[in-house]
Each structure stands twice: as C-alpha cells, then as structure tokens.
Amino acid sequence: MRFFNARARARFDHAAEVGLREATVADDTLRERDVVLSVRDLKTIFRTDDAEVKAVDGVSFDVRRGATLCIVGESGSGKSATARSILQVVDNPGLVESGQILYRRGPDDRVIDIAALDPRGAALRTIRGGDIGLVFQEPMSSLSPVHTIGDQIVEVLRLHDPQTPAEMRARAIDELGRVGIPEAEERFGAYTFQLSGGMRQRAMIAMALVTRPALLIADEPTTALDVTTQAQILQLLADLKSTLGMTMIFITHDLGVVAEIADDVIVMRHGTVVEAGPVDGIFHDPQHPYTRQLLATLPQRSTLGGWAAASKNTPERPSEPTTAPILEIEHLDVTFSGSSGRIFGGNRRAVHAVKDLSLAIPAGSTMGLVGESGSGKTTLGRCVLRAYQPDSGAIRYHTDGGTVDLARLTDQQLAPYRREIRMIFQDPYGSLNPRLTVRQVIGDPLRAAGVERAEIDARVAQMLDLVGLRPDMASRYPHAFSGGERQRIGIARALITRPRLVVADEAVSALDVSVRGQILELLADLQSELGLTYLFISHDLSVVERICDRVAVMFHGQIVEEAKASDIFTAPTHEYTKALLSAIPLPDPRLRGTRELLTYRPTDDMVSV
Amino acid sequence: MTLQLPTLGEELTSRQPDQPADPRVQDTHASQSRLIWRRFRRHRLAVIGGIVLVLMYLVALFAGFVAPFGSNTFQADQALRPPQLPKFSLAHGFYVHPSVGKTNIQTMDREFVEDRNTYVELRFFVRGDKYKLFGVIPADRHLFGPKDPHQRWYLLGADRAGSDLYSRIIYGSQISLSIGLLGVGVSLVLGLLIGGVSGYFGGWADTVIQRVIELIISIPTLPLWLGLAASVPPQWGPTPTYFMITIILSLIGWTGLARVIRGRLLQARGEDFVLAARLDGLGSGRIIGRHLLPSFASHIIATVSLAVPSMILAETALSFLGLGLRAPAVSWGVLLQDAQSLQTLDSAPWLLLPGIAVVLAVVAFNFVGDGLRDSADPYGRRD
C-alpha cells in the first residue's frame, strides 16, 4: 500500500479511526481481560448455483492471550472459512452472515467487533496484517513472485508502521533473521523462487510477524511441507511463541501437529464445533464420538521408541510373505532432460531423478517406499508401470511362465503386463475423467482388452461391490462422489484386470484421516483376498508403518535403507531415516518436548545431482 | 483372454463406507452437459443473445416466407424510397399509400409524392412473389405483405435499384449468417487436425506447426484477403464465389483455433486421468477421442462461437469492398456497398440498416460465446 502523499495517509488514518470507533462495543461485552479474540455465533454462508452452504454455522470460541488455539477438522469442516471470516477475507461467494468477532488488542484496550467493520474499509485494513497476521498454506502462491521478499515485508510496514526506508529495511532483515533464515541480509533481496519451501514459509511468517500482531492466524502452514521441514517450522512457531508471547490460531487437519503445539483445541465438523477444550482433555478424555473417531486414526506410541498400528482391527497379515520376488529393479537410472524440441534449446540441464537403484519386491507383500518430495519415489513407481522410460537398468518381472525385463519391452509387448501391473493414483479428483460415468471409467481397461460389453458391466458391478460401493452407482458421474468414494472407484479401476502388482502412489494422502483408515483397511482386505503385491509410495510414515511389510527409504534418487517395517521404525540404521523418524509429530500432548529433532546433512557425493 | 473374475466371498458384501454424508452437500447426479446448461442459464445476457441468434437463424431459414418480396424484384422508379410505416384504419386495416418518385432537377434529390387516394392494404399470410422454401419447396405465401401481389410496400425503404431493403436484409442473412458457421466449421476441422497433431505429439511436429502458424498470423490480414479474393474470377456464379470466400476466410481463421486446441491438449495431456487411460492400455486414437477431446469440447464450442462473429465481419468487410460476393448474390456486406458514398447516405440513411443487422448478430454471438466460456468448465471455480 503506497500513499501518494501525507494527506492521503492522513485521510486513510482518519477513516480507519472513525471505522474502529464505530465498531467499538461496550467494554463489558467481553469481560475476560485475557481474551484476545472472542468469536460468538459466527455464521458464514457460501451461495452457490443451487443452494447456499453454511460453511460456518454458529461457531463460538475464545482465544486466550498468549495461548495457541488449534482448529482441527477434516476438509470441508469449515475450519479455514472460520479463520478467514475473522479477517473477512472469505473467498468470493462467501459472506459473513451474522455473529460477533470481538477483539481486544491489549488487556486495557477497547473492544472492537470486527464483524461490524466494512470488509473493504480502512479500519479493517489496519487490523489485517497489523493487529492480526495471517499465514497461508501455500507460500509460493501467497507471496508475490515478482517482488523480493524483503520488499514485501517492507510493504507491510509501510502501511502499518511507517518509518524511514532504512529503518524499515533493518526491521525486515531483523525479522528474517528471527524466523531462522540464514544470511538474512542477502535473502532480503531474494525472490520466492530462489528459496526452498521451508524458507518461503519462514519468510511468510516473518511478514506476518513484523508488525508484532496481537494474534497470528496460521491456516495449515505446514501441510504443503515435507515432514522434516514441518518439524522445523513447528519448532520455530513454538520458539516465537515463548520469546514474543505470541497468540496464535493454528488450523490443521493433522492431530499429530495439534498434539505438538496446541494449548486449546476446537474440533470442527460440518461447520459447527463438536468439541472444545484444553489439548490434554481432548487427547486423553475426548467426549464427542467424532473426536474419538479422529483420535482412533492416530498411530499410538506404545512404549518408548516403539510404534504400533493404532487400528488393531486390520486383518491378520499373510503370515510371512514369500521371499520370492515378483519384481526386481536393478541398477535403474532415470534422467529428465529439460525442454526438448526447441531449435534454440541450448543449455539443457538434466535432472537425475533415479540413480543406480536396485530393489526387490517380494510377491504377496507390501513394499513401502518413503521419502520427501523430490526424492524420486514417484518417478520410480511410474517407471515400474513404464509410464516413464528408464535410461538404463532392468525391471525384471517374474511370472509363472518366466521372467521379462519390462524396461526393454515395446508398447505392444507391454500390453499384457499393463493388465498385471496396475496403479492407484493420489488425486481422487484428477485421476477420474469427469466426463465418463463410473462404469466407463472402471470398464475402460477391459474394453481395451476387447472384453464383451455385457461381461464388462457384470464385472464392474462385482468390482464396485468388492470396493464397498453400490453397483447401482455405476451410472453416476465422478463428481457425485466424495473423495473417499472416488478413491474406491480408483481402486476398482486398478483391480478390474485382476492384477498381481499394484503401485499405489500416495493413494491415501489426499484423503481425510477418517476416510484414510477405511481405504487402508480396504487395501489390506483386498490384498489378502486377491493375493496382491503392493508397492506403496508415501511420504507419510505413519501410513507406511501401518500397511507395509518392508520399507525402502529414498533420498535424492537412491535407496538409503531397506528393511522390514518393524526394523525401520524401531531400529533405523541410516542417519536420514533417523532424521525422518524424529520429525514425525508425537500424537500425544503429554510427550511434547521429549523428542529430539535430528537433521541430516548428506555427504557431498549424494547432493551432486 | 486370460483374465479371470475375482471370486467374491460372502464376507465382502458389507463393505459400504460407513462415513455419514455431509448434510450440507446435496448429491447431484447431473451429467456434464446438464451442469453447463445450468450455469449458462444464469448468464442473462448470454441467454438473450442465444434467443436473438435462434430467431435470426430461423428468419434466415424461412427467408422467403418472412420477406414480403423476392430478393431481386425491383421497381426502378422507387429507387431510394424512404421507409413507409404502416397506418391503420377500420376500413382498410393496415395500409400504406403508394407514391411516385421523381428526381428534382434543381437539387438532384429524389422526391416522393404520396397518392393519398389509393391504398396498399396489408395483410398477414398473403400470396406474393414465388420462392422456394429451403431451396426446394415451391411456395408463394408470405408472413405479411400487400393484399394485392402486384403492389409494393417498402417497410425499411428501398435501395438504389428500387428493391425492398427489408426483404433484401432478410435474404442477405442467409449468406452472412451461414458463411460464419461454414467458415468456422472448415477452420475447426483444420484447427483440430493441425492443433491436435501439434499438441498431442509435440516434438518437432509441434515446432514446425507453431512456426507456420506464427508466419501466417504475421501477414497483415486485410491485404491477404484482398489478394486471395481478387484471384476469384469475376465470371464465377454466386455459389462458387460463396464457397471460395468461405475457404479463403477459413484458411486464415484456423490458426487461432489450432493454437487454442494445442494449448488445451497440452494441458489435458498432463491430467492424471489421461495417464490412467494410457495405463489402461488404450491407444492414442481412443485417448484423444474419448478422454482428451470431450474434456475440452465445451471450451472449443465457446471459442468457436467467439470466432463466428469475426468471420461474419470478415465477409461483410470483403463484400463491402467489392471483393467478396457480388450482386446478384445478396449478403449484408453486398447491401452495405450502397452505403459507400457519403452523398447517398446523406439522402438515404436507411441504407445503413444492414449494418445494424451485422452488429446485432456479432454482439449476440459474443454474448453467447462469453456465456459458454464461463460455463464451459462446470467443475472449475467461478469468480
């Protein structure tokens, strides 16, 4: 926000002051002096084509000064809409319908009803970013790509706390240093694309904190980050809270994160608060069945150092998987060259996604593949399916009739194996063609194989039943299904050809925790019934632990450790695995602070990609 | 076929997801086209534009019936006759007075003197000039016109030859409105083929095609049209000329469509469901036809409906300059040729009326195109 001159500035300040004065309510509306923000019976409505959706339906809560309030809930529960309603920055068709948002900056300050302010007025603009800071989930899209991060922080200061340019610059650098950005002086002039995801999120936090807001609202600030980066950001927020005495509303779907940082928790569902209370009570004495259901999805730490699956109702594993491998990957190398087909291509840089990788997957077992984003795990999975062509190495696939090297087959030769090796996609929305009915989506592989129409329909119906959907749903379109149901459709499509090996690439990552458990159960059931082998790719260690027999840890295109799942989780040998495990949030607020965050610095030969 | 049916165990029957549905979300079973229609309906301007277009095309289709007179009947003494609005009396119903035109020797203006004692009575569904409905069915009924088929009435005035301008605008819509559709149709075929190859296969084919498109786009359009149109021999009849002009317009018009299609293909090619289809074992043809094309068909329809008006304008421009269609063919551009001289316009401003028809058609197409573009992706967000 730039002002043309001092008069414009004065006019803005005056308008803000008038707006604030008009929104000031009687002091005894908010008696408790230690409450920064009190939301009372908030209703936010989204008007869509057909109906109006009550995204927030009568929510009330208090935020205590100096405390961290976590709003936890699954997607669509209204947690983000609540947070955005506080600053009246709800996405377009949404509107704050009624309710009070009482805000008291300091213990002796006046009480302002933010809900009564004009969403575009000067008063609310002084509060946004000045009194109440906001951190979003995706730092890449919430920071401007065309301005340096330093300029963006100074911009905030210029509106809320104008000083001389040199002073503001110094404060911005100071703040960047405080959030743990090394060489803050140089990073002041960096653009967002020059920073890693974690650094970007730190810059975002610095931007939100530079005006010393009375309240920080963080909307899923760690969801887009890797688990190790998430641990660092959580650590940072905890440190800042103690040094600055910061008050925070933290929105997340991850109960592990809640256990890590919350003082108070509210659990939301369908736009209403189902349970609220201190974090210890929520975790150890949950009252509402929905809270219990959420907690049941958490992996529990049984004894010190050991992890055990939370849901004991998963069926017995096929005792000890046969040791004969169904698939052997040998010395696999995959590189992606930069742009191709350009006349003036020139300076192409190849990315070495998978480097000299070998892995054997025992038949009938579940092999977990974990690693952070960019470690090459998805590339490896897609190579097995030959969606990508490896540069060198072999992918030996064993059948009853002998062994073939998938890496060397032509597309025609590959056709029969495409039916035996199938894939389950991560995104239940993007992987189903919205223009086709469920019957068409699931039946496509059979149609490609030349199966008769009547038989396709019969088998699709059978398959739907197998994955827990009603056969009469076959004529619906994907948009009529929820995320979990769509993923069932995706599983049905993968299994319709009766495959032997299924590559599940982050198959449950996009799902809510309560649905995630059901899908994992379904996968386990199907494995024992159909004798499937899974290559289960995930960044989520708790999921991998729950379903996998063996686990391979990938880092920079290589496998650093591969062992039985129980061994990996109890006695990891590689430093990177240890660092990865240490970063998992402990899902119990009483164990807070008992873990030590390890960091892994790769040796030189590993980073030279 | 060695695929086997998975055996179903009894214990598998109760595996319904036990998650209660979110009460705030209504379950919709609508197909893609329904969703698009639902959104389109909310676009008031687009719906109005759509209604206007449907009316215009109906009029063009039934031109002979709607127009009171044939397109090439004229009375030389009525040249540049001003519009005559019908009057009403109980004795005669709707009527106008005929008039005789003279040229004033002093001012060189056309002057018309009404004969107040004779009446041209107007009726609905009268017999009049013969025409062929849809080009085949002989007929002589007209929606309205003078009761006596030998009398003349000029609702929107007469052109320089003394023909009824209203009838000629209606006949002109046949060519002007159809050349847009036909031209875009040809462009679309070219664009789909070339853009499809470019987008789906990529690589050097993409490079070559894109450079050619850039080359074509870089040539100034008007001189190119003029050059191509000038090569149409003047002795050709109206029908071959019509098709030549269509082809000339679409030879230049396909480039934009090809680019849009390439862009959409590139975008759709990266979708997960396309990879899924590839892993399902579908061939390129089926992936394009079943997964890629439908996924952006609605966008193409929107783009096409926005391309039609530029075709109409191009035809009008060419004909106006005398390089497109020529009389006796009637199109809005041909009619506007009369309006080239400022002097004629001064005394007969109604000669500009075909231009209003052009504007109406172009604006209606643009509204419909905008509405379609906004509603084309029912799964996208609307701002």
Going residue by residue through chain B, which has 383 residues, state the pLDDT in tens, using 9 for 90 and above.
444 444 433 333 334 444 444 444 444 556 667 777 877 888 888 899 999 999 999 988 888 888 888 777 777 777 777 888 888 888 888 888 888 777 777 877 777 877 788 888 888 888 888 888 777 788 888 888 888 877 788 888 888 777 888 888 988 888 888 888 888 888 888 988 888 888 877 778 888 999 999 988 888 877 887 787 788 887 887 778 888 888 888 887 888 888 888 888 888 877 888 888 888 888 878 888 788 877 777 778 878 888 888 888 888 888 888 777 777 788 888 888 888 887 777 778 888 888 888 899 999 988 888 888 777 765 554 43
Q: Do you find a cis peptide bond into A499, omega within 30 degrees of 0?
A: no
Q: Number of helices (H) and strands (E), helices first, in chain A?
A: 22, 23
pLDDT band at A70 (very low <50, low <70, confident <90, very high): very high
For residue A488, the one-letter residue type is: R
Both structure tokens of B158: 């007469």
- State mean pLDDT over A237-259: 88
What's the Cα-to-Cα distance from B185 to each of A418, B61, B189, rounded to whole Å? 39, 18, 6
Long-range contacts (CB closer than 8 Å, 24 or more residues apart) made by A167-172: A171/A210, A172/A206, A172/A210
* Both tokens assigned to B26: 């209504």
> In this complex, do A434 and B32 lie within 8 Å of one another by their Cβ atoms?
yes
Q: Among B1, B28, B204, whose Cβ lies nearest the Cβ of A480?
A: B28
Report the side by side order of strands in the sheet with A272-278: A132-135, A215-219, A248-252, A68-72, A264-269, A272-278
* Yes or no, beta carbons of A480 and B18 under 8 Å apart: no
As a whole number of Å, the end-to-end CA separation of chain B is: 50
Whether B5 contacts chain A with CB within 8 A: yes
Neighbours of A272 (CB within 10 A): 16
- Rg (C-alpha) for chain A, rounded Å, is 27
A254, A198, A261: which is closest to A228 by C-alpha? A198
**CB-CB: which of A387, A451, A462 is closest to B278?**
A387
Q: Which tops the pLDDT comparison, A184 or A93?
A: A184
pLDDT at residue A339 above 70? no
How close A476 gets to chain B, by Cα (Å)? 6
Minimum CA–CA partner of A422 in chain B: B279
Indicate yes or no: CB of A466 within 8 angstroms of CB of B18. no
What is the model's pTM? 0.73
Q: Chain B residue with minimal CA distance to A48? A: B382
What's the rounded Cα separation, in Å, for the pair B189 and B178? 17
Instruction: Give residue-wise pLDDT tens across range A391-405.
Output: 888 899 988 878 888
**Nearest alpha carbon to residue A60 among A78, A41, A43, A79:** A41
Testing the interface with B: which of A425, A433, A464, A528 to mutate, by most B Cβ within 10 A? A433
Chain B residues close to A433, C-beta within 8 Å: 273, 277, 291, 294-295
Taking CA atoms, what residue in A is nearest to B203?
A341
Beta strands across the sheet bearing A421-424: A421-424, A501-505, A533-538, A366-370, A550-555, A558-564
Cβ within 8 Å, pair A419-B3: yes
pLDDT of residue B248: 82
Rounded CA separation A137/A144 (Å) = 14
- Which two tokens mark B213? 């498109």
How far apart (Å, rounded) are the C-alpha atoms in residues B314 and B324? 9
The beta-strand segments (E) located in chain B are: 87-89, 93-96, 99-103, 110-114, 120-133, 137-146
Burial A364-381 (b: 16+ CB within 10 A, else e): bbbbbbbbbebbbbbbbb
Which of the four pLDDT bands, split at 50, 70 and 90, describes residue A49?
Answer: low
Alpha carbon A4 to its chain's center: 42
The Cα A563–Cα A69 span in angstroms is 39
Which amino acid makes up residue A137? Q
User: How many CB pairs (< 8 A) connect A and B?
Assistant: 143
Confidence of residue A68 (pLDDT cuts 50, 70, 90): very high
In the prediction, which pLDDT does A407 show? 84
State the nearest Cα–Cα gap between A423 and chain B, in angstroms: 8
- List phi, psi (to 5°) of A38: -130, 115
The predicted pLDDT at position A250 comes to 92
**Surface of B (292-321) touching A: CB under 8 A:** 294-295
Number of residues that make up chain B: 383
Q: Are A297 and A519 in contact (CB under 8 A)?
A: no
**Secondary structure tally for chain B: helices H, strands E:** 13, 6
Interface confidence: ipTM more than 0.95: no
Instruction: Name the percent of chain A in helix, strand, coil, to the closest 5.
Output: 40, 25, 35
Q: List Cβ neighbours of A207 (8 Å cut-off, separation of 6 or more).
A: A133, A143, A149, A152, A153, A156, A175
